[in-house]
Homo-oligomer: A and B are copies of this chain.
Amino acid sequence: MPFTVPVLPEGVDPAWLPPGAFRAVGSRRTLIQGSGPLVETVHGEAAWACARFGGGVDRAAGSGTSAYDLVFRVEQGYRDEEFACGRSGGTTVVTASGGRGLLYGLFHVVRLGEDAFHGERPAEVHRPAVALRMLDHWDNVAVHPVMGQVERGYAGGSLFWRDGRARGESERVRAYARLLAACGINAVAVNNVNVHETEAHLLTDRIGDVAALAEQFRAYGIRTHLSVTFAAPVVLGGPATADPLDAGVRGWWAEATARVYESIPDFGGYVVKADSEGQPGPFAYGRSHADGANMLAAALEPYGGTVHWRAFVYDHRQDWRDRSTDRARAAYDHFAPLDGEFAANAVLQVKHGPMDFQVREPVSPVIGAMPRTRLAVEFQATQEYTGQQRHVCWLGPMWSEVLRFRPDAETAVGALADGLVAVSNAGDDPYWTGHPLAQANLYTFGRLAWDPGAGPGDVLREWIGLTHPDAPERLVDGLHAVLDGSWRTYEKYTAPLGVGFMVQPGHHYGPSVDGYEYSPWGTYHFADRDGVGVDRSAATGTGYAAQYAKVWAEVYESPDTCPDELALFFHHLPYGHVLRGGSTLIQHIYDTRFEGVAEVEAAREVWGSLAGLMEPARHARVAELYEEQLRSAREWRDQVNSYFFRKSGVPDARGRRIY
């Protein structure tokens, strides 16, 4: 059956692949040389574009290419996923060693648009800096009584599951795969890392549901992964233990994995959240996390699979009275001593910061501390703590900062990790991501995973150009204006200076300054009448700062050298402390809250001015969301300011209204 481009269901937004994005390719004469399933995908894409825009596609092996504007050619000498693209004699040529590289080359040409077909350009080789570019879906199969269909999902239901069953909507899944491939993603985990009863069965009797998804993803070069529970043998009627050193347990996993690969020959592997927030793990059997991960790695190894073992392990039943325990230390303390003990096909998946996807955290000290371990860095595209897809908060600059972080003088930019993972922000919402502008986060993640050194502003312009082809300059500039600084704006009106949290317990939307202050979650700010912040210095605090290599440990150790944006993450400071920026701590808190709200007001104005330049429904949806964002931003401003005014007694130097 020849490959056909998926048809979007009625009313579903094409996101960054509207037909107009294919105009340049679709109006050319294209030759495709080579064979294989993904070459068929390239052919199908080109044919679909040409049918729409008047070009044409030929297939031929070894014939002359001069009659064509665009040639895709399989040619040996490239690494997997790599492709070269150049232009000479009026022909643009994309070469790769297989269909996978050609597919990325095709989307490269789509991004170039008309520029791909002008002048001469020497062949340039493109390859992903990171081999594993993955989305983790926190989708439940059965609706969870508290967390719902998608845990921390803000984009409607799951694309894959509904009410305990597979949705079976293959066209939509394939359309999703196409969007992901177009920004460079090559792996998807299809269920939540919190694996409940129903989801446990995906590994065994319900593997067919996973295989059906894998078939759709495969057409766009994406491997499918599965989140499994460490207790699977026990839960699924195998051995009565899940001890990773037990021969019966190892045999059970080997057997289960063999059966998975019978269904899904290119299965990517397992994702495991163990000994974390109530999930079972090797600690119960007195084994290390390396023992746990390596057991699964051994089961996957014969088939080329990988286990993603999450490093999100901490005490979630901490006593707030105990100020000696620091959750931020936990991942390093648990995992750094295990460096070198993990199998070659085990990947330790580390959240980018030491806490939990706050708007501002330092880069996790685990990154850089385990040179003999394969690491993946985990981002959160779903905006749990960054506005829940009701606020515009484009995370490109934050991710870029993390990716450019150099743990020590030896580390090259972008060399942090063997894999980059994001928790997906997509669902069955007509715009895929709830907030239409949140599409930019998903796209940006994929592009930065491919090229961690890319400028986020350039990626943003790419996304705008694809999503709104032929947009007038005013629209391009307007979209850029409302997105580009939106993360820093969000930071300004929420928890200040890296202190984190201050959110409503449970759902995490909206402010509650003390919401997690006396909780068991290890997330405290310690505000009193004199000051606020967490002393994580080595000299007087929890010692977390010393988990970094010397160059950073020294920077973070003192408030005099610590970057302002992390001042309260690393230090407990008096309200009168003068920050490096020149303001007192308390005045900085007031000023930035007022600025943040003013910036949302300005963005709302800009958005209003864009009416008429795009589909009215899209404009209206974002306009409506801006009303909520502004209400919420004002609530943040006023609660944070009132809280600190009541604590400090220091009035705003500029006499603005604090309640």
Contact = CB atoms under 8 A, between A and B. Distances in A.
Given A647-B647, A659-B321, A639 B529 contact: no
A634 to B, nearest CB: 10
Interface stretch (A385-393, A467-475, A508-516): A508-516
A176 to B, nearest CB: 29
Nearest to A645: B528
B518 A642 contact: yes
Q: So how many copies of this chain end up in the complex?
A: 2
B647 A529 contact: yes
Contacts of A639: 518
Interface in A503-561: 504-506, 511-515, 518, 527-530
Given A321-B638, A638-B321, A648 B529 contact: yes
Contacts of A646: 527-529, 647
Which secondary structure dominates chain A's binding surface? loop
Interface in A241-294: none
B529 A518 contact: no
A18 interface: no
A515 B511 CA distance: 11
Interface string A621-659: 000000000000001001100110111110000000001
Contacts of A528: 645-647, 649
Nearest to A647: B529
Nearest to A639: B518
Contacts of A514: 512-515, 643
A501 to B, nearest CB: 13
A59 B620 CA distance: 81
A632 to B, nearest CB: 13
Contacts of A529: 529, 646-649
A2 B271 CA distance: 68
Nearest to A659: B321
Nearest to A638: B321
A321 B658 CA distance: 9
Interface string A198-242: 000000000000000000000000000000000000000000000
Interface string A90-101: 000000000000
Contacts of A505: 504-505
Contacts of A645: 528
A518 B515 CA distance: 11
Nearest to A526: B646
A171 B529 CA distance: 60
A518 B512 CA distance: 8
Which residue, of A514, A527, A645, has the highest number of chain B Cβ atoms within 10 A?
A514
A518 B528 CA distance: 18
A504 B520 CA distance: 14
Which residue, of A321, A505, A530, has the highest number of chain B Cβ atoms within 10 A?
A321
Contacts of A323: 659
A528 B512 CA distance: 16
A506 B146 CA distance: 14
A648 to B, nearest CB: 7
A199 B639 CA distance: 39
Interface of A: 320-321, 323, 504-506, 511-515, 518, 527-530, 635, 638-639, 642-643, 645-649, 659
Q: Ordered nearest first, which 9 A-B pairs have the shortest CB separation?
A: A528-B646, A321-B659, A514-B514, A529-B529, A518-B639, A529-B649, A529-B647, A321-B638, A529-B646
13 contacts: A323-B659, A505-B505, A511-B518, A512-B515, A512-B518, A514-B643, A518-B642, A528-B645, A528-B646, A528-B649, A529-B529, A646-B647, A647-B647
